[in-house]
Amino acid sequence: MTHRTAIAQIPKADTSRTRLDSHRLRRDFPLLQEALHKGVPLAYLDNAATTQKPMQVIEALHEYYTSYNSNVHRALHRLGEQATLRFEEARTKVAAFIGAPSTRSIVFTRGTTESINIVAHTLGRCRVQDGDIIMLTGMEHHSNLVPWQLLAKQRNAKLEFIPICEDGTLDLDAFESMLTERVRLVSVTHMSNVLGTIHPVKRIVDSAHRVGAKVLIDGAQSVPHFPIDVESIGCDFLAFSGHKMAGPTGIGVLYGKEELLEEMPPFMGGGEMISKVTLESSTWAELPYKFEAGTPHIAGAIGLGAAVDYLNALGMDCIHQRESELTTYALQKLGEIRGLRILGCAPERGGIISFIMDAVHPHDLSQFVDQNGVAIRAGHMCCQPLMHILGVQSVSRASFYLYNTEEEVDQLIEALDQAMRFFSNGI
């Protein structure tokens, strides 16, 4: 349980091979075979919220529950040993997937939100003092904002925010001028879940480290879509969720540098995270188990391991290339619709497009296009401060994944055209 496992690096995907065949890949995803609303084919374009699951992941969950369902790290019987083996194999796969040097730096959590909260409630309380600064951006998901607000209030610290440029990028020159030795933590999204902007996180990390600040990267929208190497980036922490990368819900990951995880106190107390317990005191288990109190989401971790296998087989470079092609196509088609405004125009962006239609409220639009088989997101995207900066209450959002096609974009465009005509005529 407490052994250290070195991680071999995953070979880079061969981008010279044939581009991903999204039509073929769709056969792996049962829900994408469903027809909704009187036989209308489903165009699922809400992948930034959660992705669909391939049969390979579903079968891994089924196999665990039907073939070796048992708790991990405790039992000496055959089922317990097999469950522990598969659970720890998943940790090894995840570590390699993000370029982590050891499984000791991989903590299984419930998702990105819990991962960020662990850092805020442990390292944050240890390192942030009266008058210190926590630096964020105005485009953070609430999960990467609220925990830091709570910490700042508890420690009498200050929150400062990297300015946002008109194109949806961060003003990194301003950021670097704002850095002082009072900045203790910097926490930024790798890719905006509203604007799709991909931030140059290595530059952010390098700049923050020069003043001694630690950096957490919210990788919820990046890890599923393009290659990530935490050692190359140099970040101190990376948080992401399984359900956004073809894995199960309720499972996530916190990567942390070992020396920082060693420094941090436990987040929760209970079984599994202890070494020795007396009536008066306790000592803690080695990493990463110090942060995994109680029975973990065993099936979720195993399912996440299966999702990692699936993505590795396709190649993360190839996935990113395919999504970039589809996003370029969608931006062109959406740009041809009169009365539609796309938010953000960063040169480096992922497969997320948020937009406003003059004649239609986003909530009405989402319901209308749903009748045409198109699933998009509408609302403030858990980014209310960014909505305020953009001067809107809510937006519509289409987000893509490896199984989406140009035909689905065309289905979206046709549904938007119908909505524009319908609402413009006041019907």
Total count of residues recorded for the chain: 427
Q: For residue 284, what are the CA distances in angstroms to 84, 185, 266, 270, 293?
A: 20, 25, 8, 10, 10
Give the contacts of 373 (CB within 8 A, at least 6 positions apart): 35, 36, 37, 40, 41, 42, 43, 411, 415
Q: How far is the C-alpha of 231 from the C-alpha of 228, rounded, in Å?
A: 9
Q: What is the DSSP letter of 69?
A: -
Give the contacts of 121 (CB within 8 A, at least 6 positions apart): 147, 151, 267
Pairing assessment for the beta strands 352-357 and 395-399 based on DSSP bridges: antiparallel
Choose, from 126, 165, 318, 382, the residue flagged as catalytic. 382
Q: How far is the C-alpha of 214 from the C-alpha of 204, rounded, in Å?
A: 11
Q: How far is the C-alpha of 357 from the C-alpha of 369, rounded, in Å?
A: 13
**Residue 235 is among the residues annotated as catalytic for this protein:** no
- In the three-class reduction of DSSP (H, G, I as helix; E, B as strand; rest coil), residue 214 is classed as strand
| Residue positions annotated with a catalytic role | 382
